[in-house]
């Protein structure tokens, strides 16, 4: 069975509704920015936008169709089921999971996940030196690799709402039940948990909108270094990121 990048996307965010379709960079939304960056590295048939069957998410389907990438519409609240149903519909087993509120996702590190993943891996992602998975941080630069067979196992192990809404959380909180591996984050950001590049609130949105416009495209080989230089050169950006990290601490 083949692999695909599945972008988890909906407009019904509690803290910032419509955040992924609001104008973000040069009139384009976050979802458009992510899709365009992915298309520089991957063919369109390897990208799936998995949204909900709510009419509110019709706009998301329209954006996916505009870029000729695949789209799947499924359960709004049972996100684990949406991923399982999506993977079954498109006949894929190997999954790169990507959240549509992370406009700084770097395609080259998706390629690295795909290169490093083995048939035995249930889950592969990146982690800081203290073994904190990047998904449990606010860094917003990396994706996750898992499999349809693994997601089916999760659905058999648990029916807790938290795990149904957060697709991979059960995996890295129950490492004894799965084959889990982590790759090290790039050396330049190993100590940079002070960086927040995910969008949950209007403050995140406005800050990252300004930041994104000052940076080279995320497909640039020197993107991370440019990003760090820009953040470190502006005390206001650093302080705002710190404030948002404290206010939106991941559980």
Token pair 């996940």 is found at: 113
Instruction: Check: CB of residue 20 under 8 Å from CB of residue 52.
Output: no
How confident is residue 203, by pLDDT bands cut at 50, 70 and 90? Answer: very high
- Cβ count near 235 (within 10 Å): 9
What's the mean pLDDT when you consider all of the chain? 95
pLDDT at 75: 92
Residue 1, pLDDT score: 55
Smallest CA-to-CA distance from 49 within 39, 137, 156, 177 is with: 39
Q: Does residue 217 register a pLDDT over 90?
A: no
Separation of CA 46 from chain center: 16
Q: Is residue 215 part of a domain?
A: no
- Higher pLDDT pick, 13 / 10: 10
Look at residues 204, 203, 39 and name the one whose alpha carbon lies nearest to residue 7.
Answer: 39
pTM of the shown model: 0.95
The phi and psi torsions of 176 (rounded to 5 degrees) equal -75, -15
Please check whether residue 150 lies inside any domain of the structure: yes
Query: How far, CA to CA in Å, does 116 sit from each of 54, 137, 202?
Result: 36, 22, 36
pLDDT value of position 200: 94
Identify the CA nearest to 70 among candidates 3, 25, 13.
Answer: 3
The answer to the question of residue 201 being in a domain is no
pLDDT over threshold 60, residue 250: no
- CA–CA separation, 123 vs 130, rounded Å? 18
CB burial of 193-206 (b: ≥16 within 10 Å; e: otherwise) equals: eebbbbbbeebbbe
CATH of the domain at 119: 3.90.550.10
Q: What total of structural domains would you count in the chain?
A: 1
Q: Note down the domain range covering 157.
A: 2-190
Is residue 227, in this structure, part of any structural domain at all? Answer: no
Confidence band (pLDDT; 50, 70, 90) for 219?
Answer: confident
The answer to whether residue 212 sits within a structural domain is no
Instruction: Check pLDDT > 90 for residue 172.
Output: no
Say if CB 6 and CB 86 are below 8 A apart: yes
The CA distance from 216 to 222, in Å, is 8
Is the pLDDT assigned to residue 98 strictly greater than 60? Answer: yes
> Would residue 157 count as lying in a domain?
yes
Tokens of residue 38, six digits = 């992915």
Distance CA(87)–CA(82), nearest Å, equals 8
In a domain, 196, yes or no: no
What are the φ/ψ torsions at residue 144 (nearest 5 degrees)?
A: -130, 150
Looking at the predicted structure, is the pLDDT value of residue 175 above 70? yes
- Asked if the model's pLDDT at residue 181 lies above 70, the reply is yes
**Around Cβ 99, how many Cβ atoms within 10 Å?**
18
In a domain? residue 246: no
- With beta carbons less than 8 A apart as the criterion, state whether 226 and 215 touch: yes
59: number of Cβ within 10 Å: 16
């Amino acid at each position: 069975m083949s692999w695909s990048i599945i972008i988890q996307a909906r407009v019904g965010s509690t803290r910032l509704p419509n955040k992924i379709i609001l104008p973000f960079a040069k009139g384009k939304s976050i979802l458009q920015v992510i899709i365009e960056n992915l298309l520089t590295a991957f063919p369109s048939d390897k990208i799936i936008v998995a949204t909900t069957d709510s009419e509110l998410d019709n706009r998301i389907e329209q954006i996916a169709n505009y870029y000729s990438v695949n789209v799947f519409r499924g359960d709004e609240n049972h996100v684990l089921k949406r991923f399982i149903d999506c993977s079954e519909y498109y006949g894929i087993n190997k999954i790169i999971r990507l959240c549509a509120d992370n406009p700084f996702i770097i395609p080259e590190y998706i390629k690295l996940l795909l290169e490093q993943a083995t048939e035995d891996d249930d889950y592969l992602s990146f982690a800081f030196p203290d073994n904190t998975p990047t998904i449990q941080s606010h860094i917003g630069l990396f994706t996750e690799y898992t499999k349809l067979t693994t997601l089916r196992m999760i659905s058999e192990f648990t029916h807790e709402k938290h795990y149904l809404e957060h697709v991979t959380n059960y995996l890295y909180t129950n490492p004894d039940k799965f084959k889990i591996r982590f790759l090290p984050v790039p050396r330049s950001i190993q100590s940079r948990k002070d960086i927040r590049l995910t969008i949950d609130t209007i403050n995140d949105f406005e800050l990252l909108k300004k930041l994104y416009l000052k940076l080279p495209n995320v497909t640039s080989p020197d993107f991370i270094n440019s990003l760090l230089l820009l953040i470190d050169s502006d005390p206001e950006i650093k302080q705002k990121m710190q404030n948002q990290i404290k206010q939106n601490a991941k559980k």
